[in-house]
């Protein structure tokens, strides 16, 4: 393999950028409908979640699966605290469309 071959292999993936913005998520609509804000999610969480992470989740910025699960758990708890528990426990697939 020559130096030019190695260069073409390294730059091959640059043509397909990773999509990071997915637009408003179902999570945003659920929070708006239930009257909850970002702080309610952060406060209800037992795992480390920041206000910035919740905002990113609402706007559709890519989050790790672990952070999505933390937000889903915190939302279920926040809804229960508010006195409006969901009929079934919400999962990350209910809250995110990516």
pLDDT tens profile 44-83: 999 999 999 999 999 999 999 999 999 999 999 999 999 9
Q: What is the pTM of this model?
A: 0.79
Q: What span, in angstroms and rounded, lies between the C-alpha atoms of 37 and 22?
A: 20
- Residue pair 51/31 in contact (Cβ under 8 Å)? The answer is no
Domain ranges (residues) in the chain: 21-95
pLDDT, tens digit, for every residue of 26-38?
Answer: 999 999 999 999 9
Distant-in-sequence contacts of 56-61, Cβ < 8 A, 24+ apart: 57/25, 57/27, 57/95, 57/96, 58/24, 58/25, 58/27, 58/28, 58/31, 59/21, 59/23, 59/24, 59/25, 59/28, 60/21, 60/22, 60/23, 60/24, 60/25, 60/98, 61/20, 61/21, 61/22
Across residues 3-31, what is the average pLDDT? 73
Across residues 10-22, what is the average pLDDT? 72
Q: What span, in angstroms and rounded, lies between the C-alpha atoms of 61 and 52?
A: 11
pLDDT at 20: 85
Q: What span, in angstroms and rounded, lies between the C-alpha atoms of 98 and 94?
A: 10
């Amino acid at each position: 393999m020559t130096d030019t071959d190695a260069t073409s292999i390294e730059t091959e993936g640059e043509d397909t950028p990773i999509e990071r913005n997915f637009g408003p998520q179902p999570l945003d609509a659920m929070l708006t409908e239930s009257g909850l804000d970002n702080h309610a999610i952060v406060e209800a969480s037992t795992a480390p979640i920041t206000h910035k992470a919740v905002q990113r989740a609402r706007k559709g910025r890519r989050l790790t699966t672990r952070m999505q699960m933390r937000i889903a758990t915190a939302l279920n708890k926040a809804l229960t605290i508010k006195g409006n528990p969901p009929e079934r426990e919400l999962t990350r697939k209910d809250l995110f469309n990516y």
